[in-house]
Structures are given as C-alpha cells and as structure tokens.
C-alpha cells in the first residue's frame, strides 16, 4: 500500500479520488488551498486515521514523503478559473513544477489531471491523443488551456530529462455529486436551475454537443492509469464518448427533476467549443477501461445529491 498525495483533494474529483484510494487501502494526504474546494467534501473522511488534509497552495514547494502524487489542484470551471487568471496559470505551471520537483526528490510516481481543453476548439472529431489542438493563446480561456498545455510539456520534459515516472490523463467533461452548485458548469447549472424552478439557460441554439462522464467511471480510469507499467505515460483521454446536444441534456434534466422550468437561449460565450468528444481507443486498450454509467443513471445520482443540498 502507498502513501498518496492528492493535490486539489478537497474539490469535486479529488474528494472522490480520495474515497477510492482509501477504499483500496492507501494512505491519503490532501493538499488544497480551498479556492474552489471545501473541507465539507472530505468531511466524511475526517475520522479515518489513514486520511489527512492540509491547507497548501501548490504554487509553493511542498516537502512531504509520498510514493504517488495525483496533481489535480486547479479550478476547473470557467467562472472560477477566469476570476484570477494569473493565479490559474501559476497554479498549473508553478504547481506542476513544484509537484514534479517533489516527485523527483522522493522518487514518487506522478499523475497530471490534464484536460480536453488542450484540444481547444477542435477541427478533428472525435479527438484522439495524437491531435495537437486548436487553442487561442490570448483569449479569456487561455489561462486554463495554455496553463494545462504547459503543465503537460513540463511532465514530458521531466520524463525525458530526469526519467520521472509520469502519467498524463486528459479528462473530458465529468459530472456527479459534490460538483460546486454555482460554478456554471452545464450539468450542475441545469440541475440547480431546474430544482429551483428557474429558467434553464442554454448558450447558443442548443445544438452544440458535449459528452459527459460520470465521476465513478472517471476515477476508475485515473487509478488504472496510475497503476500502468512505467513505460506507459499517456497522454490518454478519459471520458464518455456518448454525445448529447445541450437541448437534449436540458430536456433530460427537466424530465428527471419533474421541473416546470422553461428553457431560454442566450449568446454563446467567447471561444466556446462547438463540439467535444473523446476518442477513448487508447484508454480501452491500455487501461482495459470503458465507461459504464449512462447519462440518465448518472444524472439521477447527481440530482439526488443536489436535492439534499438545496432543498
């Protein structure tokens, strides 16, 4: 069993990852500055003697003894990462340098939570890992997209230069319980609006598509990626390739919440990609993984979480 550091472990994905790692018998240390995460997400773990949480900002070096590092620290939703864009880039870039430095010092294996945003507004559909992306380097999303791209560069340079054991996973839209209710991500937005009886606001005409992965599927793939042999580095896409239009998603949420909310349309935000869908062939072959939870089942779990929080 290993001592595992999870940066960003008080956030949505990090808290589920901590659950899984503890269940698998590991010791877990969470380092988080609580920018978007909260202690409440890990509250149920507070009595577990194998779990520890510390306030730490990854833009500063960290000195701890661990065997594995999952580097998740970074606000993931546009509302949050655009609030302090300079800090967002610092979190990705300085955070990667600090965590890679730590991995090098203690000989730990390290996994980077990268993102489908490295593909930008893609001309290739679905996106395989070999596609280099189409990213605006100076727009309002660039602090996140380019920060994550630079972090990937650093991971691969630490591999080439220092022979570090690295894994890079590119996460596509993931949803589930413990998402932040006000972070503007489409699934949480629609559910919260429906449960509150407010209009469901679709950007654009609702024909743009997204694919949505349920959190349990994502976490299973992440830990499988960490457990691959040292020769496997990724980058590897993780996501659910089933595509839905925003209009289909809104209608499904209305049906499952039995909400009377109306659907409204407003202009698309700047640089919003029109389509995003992972090619998961590599994950299927190298991680022996495939998403199992369909959108409707995953939405039911997520809706019941938000009901318990909001009502």
Ligand X SMILES: NC(=O)c1ccc[n+]([C@@H]2O[C@H](COP(=O)([O-])OP(=O)(O)OC[C@H]3O[C@@H](n4cnc5c(N)ncnc54)[C@H](O)[C@@H]3O)[C@@H](O)[C@H]2O)c1
CB of 273 to ligand X, least distance (A): 13
The residue ranges that bind ligand X (CB under 6 A) are 7-8, 10-14, 32-37, 57-59, 72-76, 91, 95, 113, 115, 171, 173-174, 180
Cβ closest to ligand X, residue 91 vs residue 193:
91
Minimum CB separation of residue 309 from ligand X in Å reads: 14
Q: What is the DSSP string of the chain?
A: --EEEEETTTSHHHHHHHHHHHHTT-EEEEEE--SS--GGGGGGGTT-TTEEEEE--TTS------SEEEE--S--SHHHHTTSHHHHHHHHHHHHHHHHHHHHHHT-EEEEEEEGGGGBS-SSSSBPTT---B--TTSTTHHHHHHHHHHHHHHHHHHHHH---EEEEEE--EE-TT--TTS--HHHHHHHHHHTTPPEEEETTS--EEE-EEHHHHHHHHHHHHTS-TT----EEES---EEEHHHHHHHHHHHHT--PPEEEEPPPTT--S---B--HHHHHHS-------HHHHHHHHHHHHHHHH-
C-alpha 235/C-alpha 286 separation (Å) is 11
Nearer to ligand X, 59 or 233 (CB): 59
Catalytic: which of 144, 158, 175, 214? 144
Measured from the CB of residue 209, what is the shortest distance to ligand X in angstroms? 15
Q: What backbone torsions phi and psi does residue 45 show, to the nearest 5 degrees?
A: -100, -5
Q: Cβ of residue 241: shortest distance to ligand X, in angstroms? A: 15
36 or 209: whose CB is closer to ligand X? 36
- Between 158 and 212, CB nearer to ligand X: 212
Catalytic residue status for 305: no
Smallest distance from the beta carbon of 110 to ligand X, in angstroms?
13
Pairing label, strands 27-32, 3-7 = parallel
Tell me whether residue 119 or residue 158 sits nearer to ligand X (CB atom): 119
Judged by CB, which is closer to ligand X: 28, or 261? Answer: 28
Taking the complex as a whole, how short is the minimal distance between the CB of residue 123 and ligand X, in angstroms? 20
**Catalytic center residues:** 144
């Amino acid at each position: 069993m290993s001592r595992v550091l999870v940066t960003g472990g008080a956030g949505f994905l990090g808290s589920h990852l901590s659950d899984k790692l503890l269940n698998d018998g590991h010791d877990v240390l969470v380092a988080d500055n609580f920018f978007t995460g909260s202690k409440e997400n890990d509250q149920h773990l507070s009595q577990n003697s194998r779990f520890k949480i510390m306030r730490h900002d990854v833009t500063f070096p960290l000195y701890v003894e661990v065997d594995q590092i999952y580097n998740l620290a970074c606000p993931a939703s546009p509302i949050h990462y655009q609030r302090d864009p300079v800090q967002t880039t610092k979190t990705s870039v300085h955070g990667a340098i600090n965590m890679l430095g730590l991995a090098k010092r203690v000989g730990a294996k390290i996994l980077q939570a990268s993102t489908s945003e490295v593909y930008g507004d893609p001309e290739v559909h679905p996106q395989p890992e070999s596609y280099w992306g189409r990213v605006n380097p100076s727009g309002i999303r660039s602090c996140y997209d380019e920060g994550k791209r630079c972090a990937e560069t650093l991971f691969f340079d630490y591999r080439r230069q220092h022979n570090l054991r690295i894994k890079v996973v590119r996460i596509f839209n993931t949803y589930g319980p413990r998402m932040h209710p006000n972070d503007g991500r489409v699934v949480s937005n629609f559910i919260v609006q429906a449960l509150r009886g407010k209009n469901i606001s679709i950007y654009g005409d609702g024909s743009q598509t997204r694919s949505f992965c349920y959190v349990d599927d994502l976490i299973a793939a992440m830990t499988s990626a960490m457990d691959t042999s040292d020769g496997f580095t990724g980058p590897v896409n993780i996501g659910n390739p089933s595509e839905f239009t925003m209009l289909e998603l809104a209608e499904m949420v209305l049906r499952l919440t039995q909400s009377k909310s109306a659907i409204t349309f407003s202009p698309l935000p700047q640089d919003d990609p029109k389509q995003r869908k992972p090619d998961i062939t590599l994950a299927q072959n190298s991680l022996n993984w495939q998403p199992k939870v369909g959108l409707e089942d995953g939405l039911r779990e997520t809706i019941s979480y938000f009901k318990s929080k909001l009502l």
